[in-house]
Amino acid sequence: MGEYVLFVDDEDCILDVAEAVFEQHEVRILTAKNAEEALEKVKSHEVAVIVSDQHMPGMMGLELLSRIKAMSPDTVKILMTGFADLETAIDAINRVEVFRFIVKPWENTQLVELVTDALKRYRLIKSIVKGDDAAMLSLVRALELKDPYTKGHSERVAEYAVSIGSKLDLNDKSLKAIRYGSWLHDCGKIGVSENILNYEGPLDDAEIHIVRNHPMWGADVARKARLPETIVNIILYHHERYDGKGYPSGLKGSGEIPLEARIVAVADIYDALTTERPYRKAYDKNKALEMLISMKENVLDPDLVNLFSDLINKEEK
């Protein structure tokens, strides 16, 4: 049967517009005029994404999404409302794991981007659950197309990080976790707008907040896919700093930041330095290593930086 996007709203005109918008994007749409009808559709179809209005007669949108969370935990939930109030947003995040919000009346391009990102999240989770590495990598590469400067980034990070892990004589299970965690470390950027990812100037506070949420969003994907805690921790903590000034949790040093996350952090920053970004040119290997060494003790684990520098220098020779 395949996957569907379900729109729920008590206004016919809203459902008609949603169907018309997605008809040209080859996305299969289901519609429901109330919560009861929506629950029946979820029972009988594979609903990848649900977009529900908040204010409906009978059951409110948040209550519906809460019921669907129990029925179909992998379904990605989007809340649609004419009232962008903070209290509703916080309740939705804490209670029913809403992926994103959209305010009516929406812009069609915004809605399409939002639903497309939600579908990518759903498919990524399904590919991980199935153990389909090829499908997972394909989706990671598709995600990187949102930011052309990061093409191939996750796979290069995996190569660097596994090299570090091998030098530390980590076992095969740990090396596999490092590889998967590296591939998926930025998967939380599903749902971060391309405008933000590709913006060439400084971001404002709200945009920085969105970007800094990507480790938590990515870790949530990994948990939903029932990946081991080691992989979840790599995704969640790869932006922590050795001095405790990182995010999202402000963990500090080797005692708090998991080893695998510290390894991926070194690999991630080195690859970022040696590839072109919207705001600067790529650095050569020597300059990148020099900058990496300057981050010892403050951003990065000094022992891992030393080990990685030796690896890169030996590779050059």
CATH number for the domain spanning 27: value is 3.40.50.2300
Q: Do 152 and 184 fall into the same domain?
A: yes
93 has a pLDDT exceeding 80: no
Q: CATH no. for residue 138? A: 1.10.3210.10
- Do residues 103 and 145 both lie within one domain? no
How confident is the model at residue 89, as a pLDDT?
A: 64
Domain membership of residue 79 (yes or no) is yes
Q: Residue 294: pLDDT band by 50, 70, 90 thresholds? A: very high
Structural domains in the chain (count): 2
- Residues 152 and 274 grouped into a single domain: yes
- Asked whether residue 44 is domain-assigned, the answer is yes
H helix or E strand, kind and range, residue 286: helix 285-294
pLDDT at 24: 81
Q: Do 145 and 243 fall within a single domain?
A: yes
Let me know if residue 213 belongs to a domain: yes
* Confidence at 88, pLDDT banded by 50, 70, 90: low
| Closest CA relative to residue 128, chosen from 43, 218, 259 | 218
Q: What is the pLDDT of residue 2?
A: 83
**Is the backbone peptide bond immediately before 105 cis, with ω within 30 degrees of 0?**
yes
What pLDDT does 40 receive?
96
What does the alpha-carbon distance between residue 188 and residue 222 come to, in Å, rounded to a whole number?
Answer: 10
Yes or no: say if 218 and 125 are a contact pair by the CB < 8 Å rule: no
Domain boundary among 121, 151, 183: 121
Among 73, 102, 121, identify where a domain stops: 121
Q: Which residues does the annotation mark as catalytic? A: 189
Whether 211 is in a domain gets the answer: yes
Q: What integer pLDDT is reported at residue 203 of this predicted model? A: 74
Q: Is residue 32 part of a domain?
A: yes
Q: Are 193 and 220 found together in one domain?
A: yes
Q: What is the mean pLDDT of the chain?
A: 88
- Whether the predicted pLDDT of 17 surpasses 70: yes
More confident residue, 133 or 201: 133
The residue segments making up the domain with residue 91 are 3-121
> Is residue 256 domain-shared with residue 292, that is, in the same domain?
yes
pLDDT over 70 (residue 206) = yes
Stretch 217-244: mean pLDDT, rounded? 94
pLDDT at 258: 98
Do 110 and 258 lie in one domain? The reply is no
The verdict on 205 and 243 lying in the same domain is yes
Q: Is residue 250 part of a domain?
A: yes
pLDDT at 189 over 90: no
Domain co-membership, 86 together with 151: no
| 126 found inside a domain | no
Q: Quick check: 42 and 75 in contact, CB under 8 A?
A: yes
Is the same domain home to 261 and 178?
yes
Confidence of residue 129 (pLDDT cuts 50, 70, 90): confident
Q: Is residue 111 over pLDDT 80?
A: yes
Cβ proximity of 30 and 4 under 8 Å: yes
Asked which of 121, 139, 170 is the last residue of a domain, the reply is: 121
If you average pLDDT over residues 48-63, what whole number do you get? 91
Both 51 and 115 in a single domain?
Answer: yes
Shared-domain flag, residues 176 and 48:
no
User: pTM above the 0.85 mark?
Assistant: no
For residue 278, tell me if it sits in a domain. yes
Amino acid at 161: A
